[in-house]
Amino acid sequence: MSSTNLQKWTASDLAPDGAGAAPRHVAIIMDGNGRWAAARGLPRVEGHRRGVEALRRAVRAAHELGVRHLTLYSFSAENWSRPVEEVSDLMNLLRLFMRRDLAELHKGEVRVKVIGERAGLPSDILGLLEEAEARTRGNSGLQLVVAFNYGGRQEIVSAVRRIAEAVRDGKLAPEAIDVGVVADHLDTANIPDPDLVIRTSGELRISNFLLWQSAYAEFVFLPLHWPDFDKAAFEEALASFSARQRRYGGRTARAGA
Ligand code: IPE
Ligand code: IPE
Ligand code: MG
């Protein structure tokens, strides 16, 4: 991990609001598994395997750093366009993760929530995802939001469709549609918007992730590949976040008269 001049984030910076506050919700675009493997002459699947280990580290670090909601972009709606062998490797790794890690997550009071399109997923995967949600529903620790077969545009389209159906059925007046109504029809209903979105691999794009929800998120792009992500990288991102002033279009007291 390269060092930066940014102040190190510590637990004492915890505050509910304002500059210096720790992010309540961190969302991560876990990118760079393939390049990590290629740089070592390894098959891509090895990068994905090591990516699962980084994912475990991220969940642990989120818990230790006081993050309340952690969203992980695991498979995008567009990732189906990859070669079938790679898609199948990724599906198998999700199966393995859900089977091996669910008990441990449950023990750690983690509450799992899955966002993304469920229709068309292999039925055993669907079963594992639903089991993870059902088993951990009552937990009070970190909320782990797994974005699987997720696309921000697709999510908005399906919300619009359900809102249109409610209007058609006379359950909702068009004038009553506001930001809150739209938010309530997204997969992320009841989850606070991400305060911080992290992307690894050095790519500077959002790739159809949380388009609506990240309207006022802070972004941190880390110059490392996902398999190298660790607690120090997480802390570096949090330090960058805590040094920023969020204005939401308004002005802060510090901005001067
Ligand atoms: C992220 O790593 C994992 C998924 C998108 C599922 P990539 O597989 O995208 O790795 P790069 O970006 O090709 O290096
Ligand atoms: C975004 O990474 C999706 C996930 C991390 C699951 P991609 O590697 O698919 O994104 P692009 O293709 O570089 O935009
Ligand atoms: Mg990628």
Domain ranges of the chain: 21-151+193-242
Res 211: pLDDT: 98
**E strands, the chain, in order:** 25-29, 69-76, 111-115, 143-150, 196-199, 218-221
Q: In 151-163, which positions are buried (b, 16+ CB within 10 angstroms) versus exposed (e)?
A: bbebbeebbeeeb
Res 254: pLDDT: 60
Res 3: pLDDT: 37
Q: Which of 79, 184, 193, 228 is catalytic?
A: 79
Res 252: pLDDT: 77
The closest-lying atom of ligand 2 relative to the alpha carbon of residue 207 is 14
Pair type for strands 69-76 and 196-199: unpaired
Residue 2 — very low, low, confident or very high, per pLDDT cuts 50/70/90?
very low
Separation CA 87–CA 109 (nearest Å): 30
| Residue 117 annotated as binding site | no
Pair type for strands 69-76 and 111-115: unpaired
- For the chain, what is the largest distance between any 2 Cα atoms, rounded to a whole number of angstroms? 60
Q: Pick the closest to residue 156 from 196, 179, 187, 178 (CA basis).
A: 187
Distance 61 CA to ligand 3 centre (A): 23
pLDDT, tens digit (0-9, with 9 covering 90-100), for 44-63: 999 999 999 999 999 999 99
Query: What number of residues does the chain have?
Result: 257
Half-sphere exposure of 189 (CA within 13 A, CB side): 11
Helices and strands (H and E) in the chain: how many: 7, 6
pLDDT, tens digit (0-9, with 9 covering 90-100), for 94-115: 999 999 999 999 999 999 999 9
**CB of 208 closer than 6 A to ligand 1?**
no
**CB of 149 closer than 6 A to ligand 1?**
no
The mean pLDDT value of the chain amounts to: 92
Q: What is the CATH number of domain 21-151+193-242?
A: 3.40.1180.10
**CB of 33 closer than 6 A to ligand 1?**
yes
pLDDT at 1 over 70: no
SS3 141: coil
